[in-house]
Amino acid sequence: MNKETPFLEMDRRQFLLSSGAAATAAFVVGCDSSTPNGNNNTNNLNNLPDADVDGDDLFDADADADADADAEVPLPRPVTTVRETIVGQLEAVPQFEDLRSLFGLTHKGPGEPHIDRDDLGAAALALGQVAQLSSLAYFAHMTDIHIVDEESPARSIHSPIASASAWRPHEPWSVHNLNAAIATINAFAEVRPHDFIVFSGDLTDNKHNVELDWFIRVVEGLPIDPDTGADDDPRAAGLPDPHDPFTGVGMHPDLKWYCVQGNHDLLVLGNFDTVSFAVADPTGDKATLFISDSVVPTCYDEPACVGGYCYSATPDRCHIPFNDDAYTIRDLVADPDRHWIDRVEWISMVMGATRNGPTGHGFNSDNIVEGVSYWVDPEPIPGLPVALVGLDTSSAGGVAATAAGYMSQAQIDWLRATLDTLAAANKLIVIISHHCARDVGSNATVLVDMLNACPNVVLHITGHHHTHEVYPHPAPDGLEPWHGYWEVQTCGLLDWPQQMRFWEIVDRGDGTGHIYSTVVDIDMPAGSTVEGGRFYALLDVQEGRSDDGEGPGVLETRNVALRVAWPPEMIPVLAALPVRDVETLHFYDE
């Protein structure tokens, strides 16, 4: 995260007018079907064709303000990682214990401009100069939120099988982390609301009713008491404590949200069916035998010191022990709100969230009746030809339950028919799933082939692996280049670096488009409770408990501009649309 960029020294108008749309297109990805492994990536702005773009036509807010001195001053846009990043004072890798006083501490780092990627060979299909850049969809994406009741007896904190995720020091802040992420999105929405928000699974950590309830309360702006069982209050009143009651910030009223399920939403600890794995009853008063203890109290008022090396006392926080060995008692106070929920109960709770649209958040009554979790919205943005398809890629449960992905033949058949219908209606298609295509077992190749076969599929967004990654899927031999599409994986919201992506699909007016991915850090104000969550998420990596390199990915997987070619039938459809401002370009504004 140390890439220098001269463009941050320019204001918006200088940047646009210095080289016209050539500079604008510099942040776009071109595609080369002959280089499926990304060997054709480039960040050379001079490699893209010139285009006739008038900065005053695209961005006329400045001119309007000059013409009317009494006009209301627009709100400043919050900062994305295009302009600045959040980095550790020490690198986010395992560190020596004598540096423990610096573990978890962060500061601002340099921005990361968008990197062009033309892996699909789309640039060669451009029909000439750019006619006009226009936004087709602008949306946000979070995944692997992992709202967790860390005090539940149905845990396995000492498990040697999944030691990196069975106990995380930052778990008590999971609800606050989501709350801060929603507040961050709301701040952007005050300037320009996203067309929609997508949550791609693992909203919860252990399929508990109370975990999904907390998620919904944050989004709905309702009171939350993130403390099940005993009322733990290790800190004096007024000091930051993740277990103190608060009211969720609530999603901006102009936003709507969609979601799909992940393995942690449906399976015990994300891996097992309740009938095939002997964890403790979540509503009981005893922690799981042999592999767990009660995590009560979760945190303390003094920082941990190990071998004479202490963690920093700042930020002000409730202090977590050095590791899970600190917890040695199995007894705890029972709480009926911790009960398991199944697939249909999960969908019903999501559909019951009514503060923001759309109705059902992707799901409808058919999902309840049929007990399936896949869905389609053919027009999430009124008047624009973009469709959303939500997939169910999690294990069906039973004795064969697994964290790995799965798709039934019935869903494969449904998806094929759905893609045909949407393509016939001239829709560009965005696929949402928790797992990546490579995760869905015997249907992995089937899924990729199906998405390649539909030229209207442009983007497949995923999570599950808790790290940023980009997978180009060029058109196979025998298919035209516009059959290529992009699959992009986003890091988990709970674990370091605790980021989300903003997406924007942009028509260039020349038969091709850009898909901008912009990584966004959660705003965590100094002195806020949520600061402790960021501290321990980074510390977890620096103590060597999380996988080295997991999370941030490499530079070419974060802020990227992915070039796509439109199928010929879509070109006149897009040309007839009214022009919408491209929000991503404003992320470079000072």
Give the whole-angstrom CA distance, residue 98 versus residue 101. Answer: 8
> Does residue 12 contact residue 587 with C-beta atoms inside 8 Å?
no
The pLDDT of residue 44 is 32
Which pLDDT band, with edges at 50, 70 and 90, does 443 fall under?
very high
> Does residue 78 contact residue 192 with C-beta atoms inside 8 Å?
no
Phi and psi at residue 520, to the nearest 5°: -125, 130
Which pLDDT band, with edges at 50, 70 and 90, does 268 fall under?
confident
Give the whole-angstrom CA distance, residue 218 versus residue 206. Answer: 18
Q: Which residue has the higher pLDDT, 189 or 306?
A: 189
Q: Per the domain annotation, does 68 fall within a domain? A: no
Lookup result for tokens 């986010």: 92
> Beta strands 196-200 and 257-260: pairing type?
parallel
Q: Per the domain annotation, does 402 fall within a domain? A: yes
Q: Per the domain annotation, does 277 fall within a domain? A: yes
Q: Per the domain annotation, does 333 fall within a domain? A: yes
CATH number for the domain including 227?
A: 3.60.21.10
> Does residue 558 contact residue 81 with C-beta atoms inside 8 Å?
yes
Lookup result for tokens 């009981």: 284
Preceding amide of 358 cis, omega within 30:
yes
Range of weakest confidence among 451-455, 476-480, 482-486: 476-480
Please state whether the predicted TM-score (pTM) of the whole model is above 0.85. yes
| Mean residue pLDDT across the chain | 87
Give the whole-angstrom CA distance, residue 405 versus residue 400. Answer: 12
Give the whole-angstrom CA distance, residue 424 versus residue 445. Answer: 24
Q: Per the domain annotation, does 70 fall within a domain? A: no
One-character DSSP codes across 78-131: PP-TTTEEEEESS-SS---GGGGGGTT-EEEEE----EEE-EE--GGG--SS--
- Tens digits of residue pLDDT in 345-392: 999 999 999 999 999 999 999 999 999 999 999 999 999 999 999 999
319 forms bridges with which residues in the sheet?
300
- Tens digits of residue pLDDT in 239-261: 999 999 999 999 999 999 999 99
Lookup result for tokens 């794995």: 277
Q: Per the domain annotation, does 67 fall within a domain? A: no
> Does residue 394 contact residue 201 with C-beta atoms inside 8 Å?
yes
Taking each helix axis from N to C end, the angle separating 531-542 and 174-191, rounded to the nearest 10 degrees, works out to 120
Q: Mention every residue, 6+ apart, whose C-beta is less than 8 A from residue 576.
A: none
Give the whole-angstrom CA distance, residue 34 versus residue 573. Answer: 29
Q: Which residue has the higher pLDDT, 273 or 115?
A: 115
- Tens digits of residue pLDDT in 288-328: 988 899 998 899 888 899 889 999 999 999 999 999 999 99
The pLDDT of residue 276 is 57
Calculate the alpha carbon distances from 231 to 151, 225, 286, 353 in Å: 11, 10, 17, 27
Residue 39 has pLDDT above 50, yes or no: no
Which pLDDT band, with edges at 50, 70 and 90, does 160 fall under?
confident
Which pLDDT band, with edges at 50, 70 and 90, does 161 fall under?
confident
Total domain count, the chain: 1
Q: Classify 451 as helix, strand or coil.
A: helix
Is the dihedral angle over the CA atoms 559, 565, 569, 574 positive or is it negative?
positive
Q: What share of the chain is helix, strand, coil (3-state, %, to 5)?
A: 30, 20, 55
Residue 7 has pLDDT above 60, yes or no: no
- Tens digits of residue pLDDT in 110-152: 999 999 999 999 999 999 888 889 999 999 999 999 999 999 9
115 forms bridges with which residues in the sheet?
560
Kindly state the average pLDDT of the residues 77-84. Answer: 96
Residue 42 has pLDDT above 60, yes or no: no
> Does residue 154 contact residue 279 with C-beta atoms inside 8 Å?
yes
Q: Per the domain annotation, does 71 fall within a domain? A: no
Q: Per the domain annotation, does 69 fall within a domain? A: no
Domain of 117 in residue numbering reads as 6-55+76-588
Kindly state the average pLDDT of the residues 579-584. Answer: 98
